[in-house]
Amino acid sequence: MSLLNHTHDPAARSWLESANAAVCDFPIQNLPFCVFRRRGSDESYRGGVAIGDQVIDLAQLGATAALQGLAAEAAQAGAGASLNPLMALGPAAWQALRHGLFDLLKAGAAGAAVDALRGCLVAQAQVEYTVPAQIGDYTDFYTSVHHATNIGKLFRPDSPLLPNYKWVPIGYHGRASSIGISGQAFPRPKGQLKAPDAETPVLAPSKRMDIELELGIFIGQGNEQGDPIGIEGAEDHVFGICLLNDWSARDIQAWEYQPLGPFLSKNFASTISPWIVTLEALAPYRVPFTRPEGDPQPLPYLDSAANRAGGAFDIQLQVGLLTEQMRAAGQSDAQICRTSYRHAYWTVAQMVTHHTINGCNLQPGDLFGSGTLSGPTLDQAGALIELTGGGKNPIALPNGERRTFLEDGDAVVIRGWCEQAGAARIGFGECWGQLLPARA
């Protein structure tokens, strides 16, 4: 489990002034990873690290002597078109690179190595991003008890939670090929729909397009098949966390999900943010993992003193909606949800542990979805199906428009950050996506 060290000092400043702004997502205490190139160029994509309004080009940095030892090895591993080689190196290498960059970026640092790093900066305003890893497998979990309860009430008012929910970190295997980077735009999906009073289903575009406010968890080091990962070491296998919108077609889902779960309702698009924030950067924002009084405690393989003491994270999450009418009027997106990851019923470590308890082998670059992260009150619900009571109670937007589900042209932005007294603000950037009309 990542602990506090000198890289978390809230008083630390960088010689790059943009990193010292009060509301900067990427101060010197953050240093998240991405894969980028200059916008509109035919350059190769390569790994980068955010600092202020700049990106550190790891390919260019790796060709210098600015870093030494394990930090240099890690920079070179992150210099390619995906971060998988860096992910595979493990936490000692990730920490060496973070600490090496911190020391070169801090205010007062000088010398040839610092000059070399200065020459590796590219303005974020001039770059474009791609999915930061080759994602071999994608598993979507269901870690919010509030989301599970809200959804259950729509279909099973007398018994909203299934008996296994409080015992098992529920998940299903999703589709990796349709995961895209922030800015992803995709057509309204088609599938089989069946109205309650219809005798037969029809093939048609979804009429109940929804969002799912989630976090994405990137796996670093994997494990051998048949070799479970114990909860004490589970976080050593986690490279970091990003924002995730797991778009959902609720009407397709309602018809297809029994008996084997979601299929076409969720495999058409999932959008992630460009930046992967490491668990080490999030160390000041760890909070205790607790269960409500009267709920069952996790089985022993899902329990540890460290997980109870600080296995949860207080990550603030916000969803904004931007309609075509708002865009045409020059308006910004309207907030429709605000919550925190601290409300999740299962932790990152528990997800990793349960996923491998049967011997399943994880690989560097595998992605977990947290599941929709709804909080305990309705204004903290992370999906329109919850916010509108299944479409019965439209939400009102500031310009007078109303929404039950998404309309063509609607764009959704997820933002995430950590902020508290005595710690540096850590941001995740933004995760944008837009729904286009269905194709003919």
Q: Which of 78, 106, 109, 114 is nearest to 93 (CA)?
A: 78
Given a contact cutoff of 8 angstroms between Cβ atoms, the answer to whether 145 and 169 are in contact is: no
Residue-wise pLDDT tens digits, 187-210: 999 999 999 999 999 999 999 999
Sketch the domain layout of the chain as residue ranges.
6-129, 138-436
Token representation of residue 161? 């939670």
Q: Is 142 annotated as a binding residue?
A: yes
Given a contact cutoff of 8 angstroms between Cβ atoms, the answer to whether 20 and 14 are in contact is: yes
How much is the average pLDDT of 312-330? 98
Residue-wise pLDDT tens digits, 343-370: 999 999 999 999 999 999 999 999 999 9
Q: Which of 299, 315, 309 is nearest to 350 (CA)?
A: 299
Q: Is 386 annotated as a binding residue?
A: no
Residue 134 has pLDDT above 70, yes or no: yes
Q: Is 439 annotated as a binding residue?
A: no
Superfamily of domain 138-436: Fumarylacetoacetase-like, C-terminal domain (3.90.850.10)
Give residues with Cβ within 8 angstroms of 28, minimum separation 6: 7, 12, 13, 14, 19, 51, 102, 105, 106, 424
How much is the average pLDDT of 267-292? 97
Separation of alpha carbons 406 and 205, rounded Å = 12
Fold that domain 6-129 belongs to in CATH:
SH3 type barrels. (2.30.30)
How much is the average pLDDT of 253-280? 96
Q: Is 158 annotated as a binding residue?
A: no
Given a contact cutoff of 8 angstroms between Cβ atoms, the answer to whether 251 and 206 are in contact is: yes
How much is the average pLDDT of 239-268? 96
Residue-wise pLDDT tens digits, 391-439: 999 999 999 999 999 999 999 999 999 999 999 999 999 999 999 999 9
pLDDT value at residue 155: 83
Q: What percent of the chain has pLDDT over 70?
A: 100
How much is the average pLDDT of 265-284? 98
pLDDT tier for residue 3 given thresholds of 50, 70 and 90? confident
Token representation of residue 176? 């990796």
Residue 1 has pLDDT above 70, yes or no: no
CA dihedral sign of residues 261, 358, 305, 88: negative
Q: Is 156 annotated as a binding residue?
A: yes
Residue 273 has pLDDT above 80, yes or no: yes
| Chain mean pLDDT for the chain | 97
Q: Is 341 annotated as a binding residue?
A: no
Choosing from 6, 99, 146, 147, which is the catalytic residue?
147
Active-site residue, 355 included = no
Tell whether omega for the bond before 27 is within 30 degrees of 0, i.e. cis.
Answer: no
Angle between helices 69-77 and 91-105 (to 10 degrees): 100
pLDDT tier for residue 322 given thresholds of 50, 70 and 90? very high
Given a contact cutoff of 8 angstroms between Cβ atoms, the answer to whether 344 and 112 are in contact is: no
Q: Do domains 6-129 and 138-436 have the same CATH topology?
A: no
Q: Is 316 annotated as a binding residue?
A: no
pTM for this one? 0.98
Q: Is 253 annotated as a binding residue?
A: yes
Residue-wise pLDDT tens digits, 29-78: 999 999 999 999 999 999 999 999 999 999 999 999 999 999 999 999 99
Residue 2 has pLDDT above 80, yes or no: no
